[in-house]
Structure 1
Amino acid sequence: MAQTWTCSGLRWSADGPVLVWGGGRLSALSWGKQVAFGVAEGGVRTCVGARGHACPVRAVVSGRSTGVRCEECARLDRAHSVAADTLADDPRPYRVYLAWFGPGMVKVGITAEERGPARLLEQGAVCFSWLGTGPLMAARRTEELLRAALRVPDRIPYGDKRAVRSGLSASPEERAAEVRDLHAQALALPAWPESLTPAPCHPVDHVDAFGLAELPPAVGEVTELIAGGAIRGGLLAAAGPDLHLETDSGVVVLDTRLMRGWELVAATDGAPALPIKEFKADVTTQDGLF
């Protein structure tokens, strides 16, 4: 019987992206590294549980889900989430940030100060700057203020980020200038919460950290993993949860969140390829293995 592994997802360390496996084993990812794995024959994708606890019923979840949780575990996980506004008494300081993903694509968000820039790396922010630091609810009010007064979103879909990530036309200076302009507008708002300490604008660029310089355009993205399927390719770049892999059919984007919940095995020759959605066509399945 083939040895199987479970993947806990992609994390960002001080040295770059790392795949985390069951049992805590880590696989550091470097540019040019071969990424190759298959999905166990006859396998199903099961819920990953919530808050460190396994799903009590090992519910089967959709192969296309990036949340990888059944309805009950998703409810439990969200009930303890900052994003759900259920932790109003959290005493930790929070930072408000502005994140740039492409021309005209800047969002506002918050993260616990103790996490540093990890949240920005996890979201695939190409450039960012801190906006202010303070209590959680003050950070939330600032987020809402920017949405209402400046129409700055607090979410940008991953599909939109992927569409502009390859071949970014904006220079580092242009990226920083867009962040600085919005930063200045935000600090000038009259309703700025008193308990949130403004931060100076110091744009941080992640193009090199993500490997995006001269990144070839992707031809498509993996839509889901399937039992018995496989993928292999050389790593060109990584941003947020996404890996950009150079395959025989071109550059393909793999969202590593799709790997969670499956039993994975070593890639074998002749295994069917994973379903791919071409960026200017409908979802297709390749005839050969990438």
Structure 2
Amino acid sequence: MAQVWKCSGLRWSADGPVLVWQGGRRSALPWGKHVAFGVAEGGVRTCVGARGNACAAQAVVPGRSTGARCEECARLERAHSVAADTVADDARPYRVYLAWFGPGLTKVGITAVERGPARLLEQGAVCFSWLGTGPLMAARRTEELLRAALGVPDRIPYAEKRAVRSALPPTAAERAAEIERLHGRAGALGGWPESLRPEPFRPVDHVSVFGLARLPAAVGEVRELVAGGAVRGDLVAAAGPDLHLATGGGVVVLDTRLMAGWQLGPVAAEGGLAVPVREFRRVPGVQEGLF
């Protein structure tokens, strides 16, 4: 593998998903694109660092880690994270939102106004609506109020999101129904901070953006990349950090966060997956594992 790059992650642009590489190179991912890359022979996965700085120890990290950071860099990254509730002096305005990922999978969260819907695209939200806008701490208090009063979480595991993407209700109105009910209940609650301005219910649907209409059910997901391994498949959908790739054995989901920290390069387009894949169980008692 003569030429190698390191992936900085999947980003969502106005034109759809884009893979970003160290050094600024970008790879657009239109539907139908054949995705093919290999992992350097004899390579190891190293920590991606924190806050834009390289890891001083160049520590080796596990293949199955979606964070791709050593303990020290993960601590530094989290110390400056709004999501971890460690930042209290951010003067930017924030929005509180309700996001829906599938039947029974709704969460509440906050994001900076300047980021627009980017956070919702990054999480793979199938549809969402804003709830209110205001200072960070007011948004935080509102998020906690809604979690307690409505019984909605602030996190949903990606495994649960992936499990329902191919079986979503067919219309945007049906997909928005759950957050519409919760939005109405939230607006009727007392105790909202005075500095938070309520927002009307205006659902935004991402099924077309993600390519989820008529999405075939996935047969499995990549567990990790390995030295000398290869990934090949045609892109049929993408949501959050996940690429849904059509392979000879069916659609397999690749969480692009697993790519970070590896040296990757081109491989022949022909061939299949040569990385560990976890098969999605269809029948109780069937052993997991495609390979």
AA at the equivalent of 1:144: E
Deviation at 1:271, TM superposition (A): 8.3
Deviations 1:142-200 (A, max 9, x none): 11001111111100000000000113135311112211110010011111111110001
Partner of 1:200: 200
- Between the aligned partners of 2:85 and 2:206, the Cα distance in structure 1 is 29
- Between the aligned partners of 2:178 and 2:273, the Cα distance in structure 1 is 44
Deviation at 1:87, TM superposition (A): 1.4
1:180/1:201 contact within 8 Å kept: yes
AA at the equivalent of 2:10: L
Does the residue aligned with 2:83 lie in a helix, a strand or coil?
Answer: helix
Farther-moved stretch of structure 1 (261-270 vs 176-185): 261-270
Does the residue aligned with 1:24 lie in a helix, a strand or coil?
Answer: coil
Partner of 2:27: 27
1:98/1:129 contact within 8 Å kept: yes
Does the residue aligned with 1:251 lie in a helix, a strand or coil?
Answer: strand
Does the residue aligned with 1:23 lie in a helix, a strand or coil?
Answer: coil
Matched, 1:99 2:99: yes
Equivalent runs, 1:66-105 vs 2, <5 Å: 66-105=66-105
Does the residue aligned with 1:228 lie in a helix, a strand or coil?
Answer: coil
2:106/2:153 contact within 8 Å kept: yes
Deviation at 1:282, TM superposition (A): 4.7
- Between the aligned partners of 1:83 and 1:177, the Cα distance in structure 2 is 27
2:168/2:175 contact within 8 Å kept: no
Structure-2 change in CA distance of 1:253 and 1:272 (3 Å): closer
Partner of 1:253: 253
Partner of 2:160: 160
Structure-2 change in CA distance of 1:271 and 1:154 (3 Å): closer
Unaligned runs of 5+ in 1: none
TM-score, length-scaled by structure 1: 0.96
Partner of 1:236: 236
Partner of 2:109: 109
Does the residue aligned with 2:174 lie in a helix, a strand or coil?
Answer: helix
Matched, 1:59 2:59: yes
2:247/2:272 contact within 8 Å kept: no
Does the residue aligned with 1:120 lie in a helix, a strand or coil?
Answer: helix
2:232/2:271 contact within 8 Å kept: no
Unaligned runs of 5+ in 2: none
Partner of 1:48: 48
Partner of 1:284: 289
Deviation at 1:266, TM superposition (A): 1.3
Does the residue aligned with 1:219 lie in a helix, a strand or coil?
Answer: strand
- Between the aligned partners of 1:122 and 1:162, the Cα distance in structure 2 is 14
- Between the aligned partners of 1:75 and 1:277, the Cα distance in structure 2 is 29
Quote the RMSD (CA, aligned, Å): 1.3
AA at the equivalent of 1:8: S
- Between the aligned partners of 1:236 and 1:70, the Cα distance in structure 2 is 33
1:103/1:170 contact within 8 Å kept: no
Does the residue aligned with 2:182 lie in a helix, a strand or coil?
Answer: helix
Structure-2 change in CA distance of 1:232 and 1:29 (3 Å): same
TM-score, length-scaled by structure 2: 0.96
Q: Which runs of 4+ in 1 moved over 3 A?
A: 268-272
- Between the aligned partners of 1:233 and 1:283, the Cα distance in structure 2 is 21
AA at the equivalent of 1:256: T
Does the residue aligned with 1:175 lie in a helix, a strand or coil?
Answer: helix
Deviations 1:56-91 (A, max 9, x none): 010000000000000000000000000222211110
2:18/2:27 contact within 8 Å kept: yes
